[in-house]
Amino acid sequence: MAKVLLLNGSPRPHGCTAEALGEMIRTFEAEGLETELIQVGAKSVRGCLACGKCDALGRCVFDDLVNETAPKLEAAAGLVVGSPVYYGSPNGTILSFLDRLFYSTRFSKHMKVGAAVVSCRRGGNTASFDVLNKYFTISGMPVASSSYWNQVHGFTAEDVKKDAEGLQTMRNLARNMAFLIRAIEAERERGGLKPMERGAFTSFPDGK
């Protein structure tokens, strides 16, 4: 059974972001997908030092939740990253976590389906949404969309429960992700997935 890994970047395990992810989890399970939710936001996660040790170790030099999550991401067919909006950007903890998780892992993320989910009271949602999507688009991961941008609104979890359109967006997002995951798996079984071209790195001949 295909599995979707969900990361909650909020320090509140039962807050607004959790409500959005919970709606997706229920939909994934109705679609026959396995899920696992990892609570990231309340952890102490330092940023990347650019030390390069992961090249030799095959993992991050800081042995914490990042290294615990890495094999789960490798096994997953899809990844959902949820975050509240802090000053018009995702939570700093989830950004540090994603920097290290994506940089220190050497396995291919090609064709794992990704989706970002943000929660906010009023503003900063689309800016945060854009930041999170960049982790997927640099990694060859198809990005799932929905019937609106993937966001819920509210100051409390109870507010989010009243955001009918936001929760509808989460359900549609989960269904679209499930479809993409199944389609990609079917194509993989037929041997139709092409490998990513690698090797070229930024270069300017003649120093120009």
Q: Can you give the residue range of the structural domain that contains 47? A: 3-207
Q: What is the CATH number of the domain that holds 129?
A: 3.40.50.360
Task: Supply the mean pLDDT for the chain.
Answer: 96
Task: Over range 107-117, report the average pLDDT.
Answer: 97
188: left (phi over 0), alpha (psi -120 to 50) or beta: alpha
Domain count, the chain: 1
Q: Model-level pTM?
A: 0.94
pLDDT recorded at residue 203 = 79
> Nearest CA to 117 among 22, 185, 31?
22
pLDDT recorded at residue 208 = 54
Indicate the angle between helix axes 164-189 and 16-30, nearest 10 degrees: 50
17-21, 87-91, 192-196: the lowest-pLDDT one: 192-196
Per-residue pLDDT reduced to its tens digit, 23-46: 999 999 999 999 999 999 999 999
11 close to 40: Cβ distance less than 8 angstroms: no
DSSP strand pairing (151-153 vs 34-39): unpaired
23-32, 146-155, 195-204: the lowest-pLDDT one: 195-204
Copy the structure tokens of residue 188: 């993989």
CB-side exposure of 47: number of CA atoms within 13 Å?
5
CB-side exposure of 16: number of CA atoms within 13 Å?
20
Per-residue pLDDT reduced to its tens digit, 55-103: 999 999 999 999 999 999 999 999 999 999 999 999 999 999 999 999 9
137: left (phi over 0), alpha (psi -120 to 50) or beta: alpha
3-state SS assignment for residue 72: helix
Distances (CA, A) of 89 to 19, 92, 175: 19, 8, 26
